[in-house]
Amino acid sequence: MISSVEKEGATMKTVDYGRLDYEYRQHHVRFRHYVESRPRKLTCQECGGAGGYTEPILDDGSGPYFDCDWCEGTGFVMPFLRGLWLRSRKL
């Protein structure tokens, strides 16, 4: 992702943000396909399988909706991620 650019005799390191964005979206698509094709689905316990949560900002309990960080909005995780989640609870 970090590429070197030769400019006026000096080498500058630049970050290819377009590439980073592409890689992130590809990861999300791969993750969603993988996790939804599993025969045994593990429910994400961080969001309870809802895939996200609403941050209550206003008095009536409404607010912006965020995708769950662990399951990326799918509501399911893979066993490896469940293990990581359990470990993060114990800390």
Q: Which helix (H) or strand (E) holds 32?
A: helix 17-36
In the bound complex, what is the minimum distance in angstroms from residue 65's beta carbon to Zn ion? 13
End-to-end CA distance of the chain: 32
Q: Which helix (H) or strand (E) holds 84?
A: helix 79-90
* 47 forms part of the interface with Zn ion (CB under 5 A): yes
* 68 forms part of the interface with Zn ion (CB under 5 A): yes
* 31 forms part of the interface with Zn ion (CB under 5 A): no
Q: Kindly indicate which of the ranges 16-24, 27-35, 62-70, 78-86 contains the residues binding Zn ion, using the contact rule CB under 5 A.
A: 62-70
